[in-house]
Structures are given as C-alpha cells and as structure tokens.
Amino acid sequence: MRYQIKHALVQYAADTILEDVNFEIHDNEKIAVVGRNGCGKTTLLKLIAGDIHMNNLDSDESCGITMAGQQRIGFLRQISFEDGEVLIEEEIKKAFAPVFACEARMKELEDALREGEDARLLREYGALQNQMEALRGYTWRQDMEVMFQKFGFPLEDLKRPIGSYSGGQQTKVAFIKLLLSRPDIMLLDEPTNHLDLPTIEWLENYLREYDRAVVIVSHDRMFLDRVIDVTYEIEYHKIKRYPGNYSAFIARKEEDLIKQEKDYEEQQKEIQRLTAWIEKWKNTPTKVAATRSKRMAIEHMVKIEKPRRFDTKTFHARFTPRMESYTDVLTARKLKIGYDQELSEVSFQLRKGERLAILGENGKGKSTLLKTLIGEIPALGGSFAIGHNVEWGYFDQQRAVVDHADPAQTVLDNFWEVYPDLLREDVRSALGSFLFSQEEVEKKMGQLSGGEKVRLALCKMFQTRPNFLILDEPTNHMDMMGKEALEKMLSDFPGTVLFVSHDRYFIRQVATEILEFGASGVKQYHCGYEDYLQEKDRMVLPAENSAQGVPKRSAAPVPTLEDVFDKKTYYNPGKIKSRLERQLEKYGMMLSESEEKAADLQMQLMNPELAADYQKLMELHKLLEEEEQLQESLLERMVETETELEELNESIANRK
C-alpha cells in the first residue's frame, strides 16, 4: 500500500466537508473520485497533497495518514508562474531537477575515478546509473519534446517566455511538467479541461501505461471508463470504494442500493413482527421469558440504515421553441473563418431537428465558426445562410464562467435585469428549473461556482425559447448529473442544435451529425458519434493496411448465414470457412512481424549514441506509433474474424 487515510474529518468553520473518510492507494492503481459539485472531491485531493489537514488529529480516534516510505506526490494546481520572462523550456526543465542532480554527481564520481579506482565510488556510480534509468534520465530531452508536441505546441514555442501564453496554455505547461516529473502519486483535478480530443486520447493511453498511482477527479465519463480501475464516491460527506471503472461503479451502486432496500424492508418487517408479538403477550405471566428474549433480539440487531436514493437533484427545464423553423436551418458554402488570417474553410448543411457536433483539434476554428455564425466575427470569404423562422440562442461557457456581473448582485436580480418584464413568480419559476430555488436565488454572483454560472447562463438563453441552439462547450464545469440532464434535454429538444464539445460521451448521447475539423480540412458526417468512428476506421485503416499488405474489406454487403444456408446463393460455407481461417492465419503472421519491428524500434530508442540526434529519435517514435496502430488494427480484425468463424461453425453444426 502506497498511501492510507483513516477516519478523516475535514471541516471549514462549522461546515463538515468530509466525515469518517477511509481512503487507500495501492501500487499503480488508477483511482477516480466522483460525486456532485461541492461534495469535497478537490478537498480530498488537497488533503492527500498536504495542502490542508484533518480536523480530528487531536482526537482519541485511530485516525491519521500513513505512507509506505517517502512517496513523491504531484498535484496539478491552478497556478500562474511567478516569473513570466522565464523561457518555457527552462520552466519545464525544472521537472528534471533530480535527473540533473544525478548527472552532476555522476560527473563528480567520474572525475574522482580517473585518479584511481575505489570500490565504494564504483558502487555509488552503479546505483546512480540505475537511478538515471528509473528517472528516464537518458531520454529526458526527447520525452520533453514529444510530450510538448502531444499537447499541441510546436517545438519552437519552447523558446517563448511563459508569460506570453494564456492562462489555459500555462495550465497545459504545468501539466506537462507534472507528467514529466513522474511522481509516485499523481493527483489530477479535471485533467481533460481545455484539451482537444487527440490529446485526451493520447493522455488516456499515457495514464493507463503509467507505472505509478494516479488519483483523478473528472466529469469526463468516457475518460474515466478508459483509464481507471477503482472508483471512490463522495456522497453526503461519506466516501465509499468500488472496484472497476465509472460504468462498473454505477451498476454496482444500483445493485447495492437495491439489496440495501430489500434487506432494510425485511428487517423492518421482522422488527414489526417481534414488536407485535411482544405487545400481544407482554402481560401474560407464562410469556415473560419469551417476551424478554424477543425484546433482546430487537435490541441486539445490527440495524440496517434506511437507504437514501442517489443525490440526483438536477435541473429539469422543459421548453418548446416559440415558433417552428423551416426545414433548412443553416447552410455554409466555402465559408472562410478566422481573425487576421484564415483558419479553415467550412461547407456544411444543417436541417431542422438535427444535432450537429463540431469536434477536432484546438486552434482549427471550432469556436471561431460559432462566433462567425452569430455575427460576432466577420467571415473572410464564402457565405452562409440562416433559414426562415430560425431564432437562435447562443451559449459560450467561457463567458458564462468569466461573468462581469456585479459580485454583490443576487442571482434573482441578475436574471431579472435581462428580462425586466417578467413577474417575480415567473423569474423564480425559471430559475427554479435550473436549481436556483428558495434561498439560492438570493445568492451573490460573486459566490457562484463555475457550474452554477453555467446553469444561470443556460437558464437565460432558454428563456428566449429559440428553435436553434448554438452551444460552445456547454458541459464544462458540470457534474455528472448536470451533463445527463442536459443530454436528455437536448435529445428531447424539437428544434436544431449546433455544438462544440470535447466530451465524447456527451457527443455520443446527443449528436446525430458530426462536423470534423481535421488535418486535411473540414468534413461533415451524416451519422452519430459511434458510426462516425467506424467510418473513420473504414477510411483510414484500408489505406494504411494496404501499404502493409492487410487486405481491404469489401464494400459489398456481407451475406448473412441465413443467406448462405437458406437461399440459392453463390456462397459456399466451406469456402467461407477456409477463407476466414487463411485470413486469421495471415493476420497472426503480420502481427508477429509488427511486434518484432516494434521491439527493434524500442531497442534503437534506448541506444545512448542517439541521445542527441533528436530528428532520428522523432522518426523512430513516429515509426513505433505506426507499428502500434497497425497492431491494434490487426487485433481488431482478428477478433472480428474469430467471431465470424465461431458463428459459422455454430451454424454449420446446427444444420447437421
């Protein structure tokens, strides 16, 4: 066990945040901490990092924090760098301080050993070599450059001063530093915020393979499903550990609740039965002993707590557009978008009832497109047209969170200021549907969390009852329940939706169309997210695999087994089986060859003679990535082929 918290109590003033918390980190576990906004997730991270302390340390309880040896804990904090003039490269190199200290000591030992061999110095030098390998000290520069580029920065930006970056970009640099420092326990609070989809997918792979422990607070459900293997939930100030990823946690939580409800009801029935028996016979002299026995049975029962249903309180606004739009809602033809220079050229069509998700790498112009469509930024060329009877509403999460309202103004007055003609009851009703009820409407604007500001901005937008929603990152700062509520709201919405999001689960649940900003341009896919991914695979993999010798899949429809056996067709089951077996054997041979190539590339990367040849190292890294992608493709094809073989064999057996 790396780290353990026992019976922790954390309070702010008179408010209890965490109560009787027991938390453990084992080996290289990837742990998620989930719960509603404000439940204490970030507080728990601060407790682990040592930023705050338990309130009951002086009590007689067996409480406290224990660690296995000296554990280096790294925490990604929202900080600004002290000296904005420091070059980014110099700032990131601070993560390699242990490497540089090790190098310096090794140089001292080398100088000493030139004067004569010393067994003690040789042992120390050998230990330092092992330490350098453990710290990845021989490859620190290529690690830095590869990771810097993975986060979307060009290598030349390493020579820029850190102060020339925006706050979000500085947070990325801090994240890079944390990953490169390789702490024993890494604490990440919403790590996917401000990252585009390719970077998120890369981070998933990195964290899965990370050989130490990671504790993550995130509302990105797909990210959690792909990375973590243990889930802790904080609810009603308590914390509970569940094995498995987020989806497994949800299923287990529901099962536990159903069982607890059943056990509670059965125990209550038994208590009622015993109590009724006692009441009936308590005044009968011959039943005194039996009455006493049954009363003691009730007293000694381990009482099952009445289960509380999930804390599912969330907004529940339902509205219909003020009017219905025509079929053609938005058409863009060779629309050039950008500020001083063109970022992208966009052509797409959006019809009534469709929900179009815009996704792709940062910096390609996704948010710029939305600002162009609402007239905030002029188009640089091309054209777009909004259809008849289209009334749009625009939401920008950045503006929602960085609200310039008077901090002393109440939520009620802030909303009323936008809609002064509404009656007080109507204002309260509108705010109540977004969880601003009773005393919440009197909350000061300066006291609102990011999630509360997002809810208020959405409430203002929906009040106009538009039939076309234009949303820029609507789920940022939302908790799981809020995201699920918005998903249902948009799925039930009878109008049209155009939205930018990096939340793949949200995109999968909501989108009926995809507009991808890719390296080769902007393309519209007339399908949902899952079909879009399959279409991408069909487009990309055949081109890659044909170069490697992987046979392309036929575009013609594959006959079903019913077609094979029940109809007069050209296909022969024996031939199909033989073809599938040959195909499976070929994929296996290609997989072995690719694994050998990957192993050879790994050995080349470890060659100390290439430590300063950055161009060669980058080429090797690229070739290795290509081999790994090919292996994934081959494994998928092998699984598909094996499944087809199993189904064919089963059908042949049934025919006999």
Pair 356, 484 in one domain: yes
CA distances (Å), 45 to each of 23, 51, 349, 397, in order? 11, 9, 45, 25
∠ CA 1-188-516, nearest 5°, is 135
Pair 188, 138 in one domain: no
Final residue of a domain: which of 155, 182, 209? 182
Q: What pLDDT, on the 0 to 100 scale, is given for residue 477?
A: 77
Of 30-34, 444-448, 510-514, 526-530, where does mean pLDDT reach its minimum?
A: 444-448
d(CA 229, CA 207): 12
Rounded to an integer, the average pLDDT of 228-247 is: 92
CB 505 within 8 A of CB 478: no
In a domain, 304, yes or no: no
Pair 149, 219 in one domain: no
250 band by pLDDT with thresholds 50, 70 and 90? confident
Render pLDDT for 638-651 as a digit per residue (tens, 0 to 9).
887 888 788 778 77
Q: What pLDDT, on the 0 to 100 scale, is given for residue 563?
A: 40
157 band by pLDDT with thresholds 50, 70 and 90? very high
3-state helix, strand, coil in the chain (%, to 5): 50, 20, 30
Render pLDDT for 327-338 as a digit per residue (tens, 0 to 9).
999 999 999 999
Pair 193, 57 in one domain: yes
Final residue of a domain: which of 182, 213, 232? 182
3-state SS, residue 455: helix
Rounded to an integer, the average pLDDT of 376-404 is: 88
Of 99-103, 121-125, 274-278, 316-320, where does mean pLDDT reach its minimum?
A: 316-320
Higher pLDDT, residue 623 or 213: 213
Q: What pLDDT, on the 0 to 100 scale, is given for residue 34?
A: 92
Of 82-91, 404-413, 614-623, where does mean pLDDT reach its minimum?
A: 614-623
Residue 228: left (phi > 0), alpha (psi -120 to 50), or beta? beta
Pair 125, 155 in one domain: yes
Rounded to an integer, the average pLDDT of 508-515 is: 94
d(CA 612, CA 609): 7
CATH number at residue 201: 3.40.50.300
Rounded to an integer, the average pLDDT of 198-210 is: 91
Render pLDDT for 339-357 as a digit per residue (tens, 0 to 9).
888 999 999 999 999 999 9
Render pLDDT for 432-491 as a digit per residue (tens, 0 to 9).
888 787 788 888 888 787 778 888 998 899 899 999 999 998 988 787 878 888 898 898
Residue 303: left (phi > 0), alpha (psi -120 to 50), or beta? beta
Pair 489, 560 in one domain: no
Q: What pLDDT, on the 0 to 100 scale, is given for residue 548?
A: 52
Measured over all CA atoms, what is the biggest interatomic distance in the chain, rounded to whole angstroms? Answer: 103
Final residue of a domain: which of 526, 558, 592? 526
Is the pLDDT at 552 greater than 60, yes or no? no
CB 71 within 8 A of CB 140: no
CB 528 within 8 A of CB 511: yes
310 band by pLDDT with thresholds 50, 70 and 90? low
d(CA 648, CA 651): 5
594 band by pLDDT with thresholds 50, 70 and 90? confident
Indicate whether this model's pTM tops 0.75: no
Copy the structure tokens of residue 367. Answer: 């948010």
Pair 175, 188 in one domain: no
Is the pLDDT at 392 greater than 90, yes or no? yes
610 band by pLDDT with thresholds 50, 70 and 90? low
In a domain, 539, yes or no: no
Q: What pLDDT, on the 0 to 100 scale, is given for residue 572?
A: 57
Give the total number of structural domains in the chain: 5
Pair 383, 516 in one domain: yes
CB 87 within 8 A of CB 158: yes
CA distances (Å), 202 to each of 192, 206, 209, 522, in order? 11, 6, 11, 22
Q: What pLDDT, on the 0 to 100 scale, is given for residue 303?
A: 85
Determine which helix (DSSP H) or strand (DSSP E) holds 294, and give its type and residue range: helix 288-299
Q: What pLDDT, on the 0 to 100 scale, is given for residue 317?
A: 63
DSSP string, 53-112: --TTTTSSSS-EEEESS---EEE------S-TTSBHHHHHHGGGHHHHHHHHHHHHHHHH
Is the pLDDT at 172 greater than 50, yes or no? yes
Domain encompassing residue 392: 328-526
Q: Over the range 561-573, which residues count as b (16 or more CB within 10 Å of their CB) and which as e?
A: beebeeeeeeeee
d(CA 610, CA 451): 49
CA torsion, ordered 97, 102, 106, 109, to nearest 10 deg: 110
Is the pLDDT at 51 greater than 60, yes or no? yes
Percent of the chain with pLDDT over 70: 89
Of 104-118, 130-144, 585-599, where does mean pLDDT reach its minimum?
A: 585-599
Determine which helix (DSSP H) or strand (DSSP E) holds 216, and give its type and residue range: strand 213-217
Pair 9, 152 in one domain: no
499 band by pLDDT with thresholds 50, 70 and 90? very high
616 band by pLDDT with thresholds 50, 70 and 90? confident
Pair 53, 160 in one domain: no
Q: What pLDDT, on the 0 to 100 scale, is given for residue 569?
A: 36
In a domain, 389, yes or no: yes
Pair 149, 287 in one domain: no
In a domain, 34, yes or no: yes
Q: What pLDDT, on the 0 to 100 scale, is given for residue 243?
A: 92
In a domain, 532, yes or no: no
Copy the structure tokens of residue 584. Answer: 């499976």
Pair 204, 108 in one domain: no
Percent of the chain with pLDDT over 90: 39
Of 35-49, 172-186, 199-213, 573-587, where does mean pLDDT reach its minimum?
A: 573-587
- Strongest mean pLDDT among 175-184, 284-293, 299-308, 423-432: 175-184
557 band by pLDDT with thresholds 50, 70 and 90? very low
Strands of the sheet with 468-472, listed across from one edge: 392-396, 468-472, 496-500, 355-360, 513-518, 521-525
Higher pLDDT, residue 611 or 230: 230
518 band by pLDDT with thresholds 50, 70 and 90? confident
Is the pLDDT at 137 greater than 70, yes or no? yes
Is the pLDDT at 538 greater than 90, yes or no? no
Residue with tokens 């490269």: 89
Which candidate, 241, 189, 236, places its Cα nearest to that of 25?
Answer: 241
d(CA 335, CA 345): 5
Rounded to an integer, the average pLDDT of 73-79 is: 79
Which candidate, 611, 449, 633, places its Cα nearest to that of 537?
Answer: 633
CB atoms within 10 A of CB 451: 20
d(CA 175, CA 178): 5
Main-chain phi, psi angles of 148, to 5 degrees: -60, -40
> Three-state SS across 312-356?
CCCCCCCCCCCCCCCCEEEEEEEEEEECCCEEEEEEEEEECCCEE
Q: What pLDDT, on the 0 to 100 scale, is given for residue 355?
A: 96
In a domain, 312, yes or no: no
In a domain, 537, yes or no: no
CB 456 within 8 A of CB 474: no
The answer for residues whose C-beta is within 8 angstroms of residue 554's C-beta and 6 or more apart is: none
Q: What pLDDT, on the 0 to 100 scale, is given for residue 558?
A: 38
In a domain, 534, yes or no: no
